[in-house]
Amino acid sequence: MALAPSPADIAAARDALAVADPALARAHAQMPPFEWRLRPGGFEGLFRMIVEQQVSVAAAASIWARVVAGLGEVTPQAVLALDVETLRSFGLSGQKARYGHEIARAQTDGLIDFDHLERLSDEEAIVRLTAIKGVGKWTAETFLMFCEGRLDVFPGGDVALQEAMRWADRADVRPNEKAAYARAEIWRPHRGVAAHLLWGWYGAVKRGEVVLEEAVPTAEAAPPRGRAAGGKKP
């Protein structure tokens, strides 16, 4: 079972990040302590992440409740026992229903072992996950962060993180995915904590709880539920 880092571990990581990279010191100073948002993992955790992407928080909760009720038990076998049209009747799009089948087959065919994914390195786990049709890199990375509690995974393609990085660096241009990964290298081995910190800072600024010294651009950055989806982070 995945374990979330303790508040003391997170606090120590934040202190280390602020020392290693003064650009993060402002976000660190402006944000209160936070807890790691650990979610259920395994097949169910990944399927749920796919179901919840690109819909509002309220819609995601409603659809997932219907999926659970319809399946009875969220297992690969239960998903594969139903055709796409039946899965769609629970509120899934046809695409998400097909992706549910793909994830279930990956488990039953032995292409991935969710019960022992922790044995793989971050890089190896991302390769295995993204080999499943419908699972992109962002989904794989956030699954490892939120469902497995991995501390050094950084979803560089997340636009909200890129925007918060721009604020931290007081830059005029938001870093692209490649630049974001490169920029985050200095945060190893605490890149997941840096992501949590930046997500929290981004949300606080957008809610008006934190005011940046410079004006926040009017153009909205996409929040982190999927790279172009609405809602809160997983």
Give strand ranges (E) for the chain: none
Report the distance separating Cα 137 and Cα 126, nearest Å: 7
Map tokens 């990040």 to a residue: 17
Cα first-last separation, the chain: 18
Q: How far is CA 114 from CA 103, 117, 178, in A?
A: 10, 5, 28
C-alpha closest to that of 167 among 134, 131, 200: 200
- Catalytic residue ranges: 158
What are the tokens at 101? 């089948």
Q: How many CB atoms lie within 10 A of CB 90?
A: 20
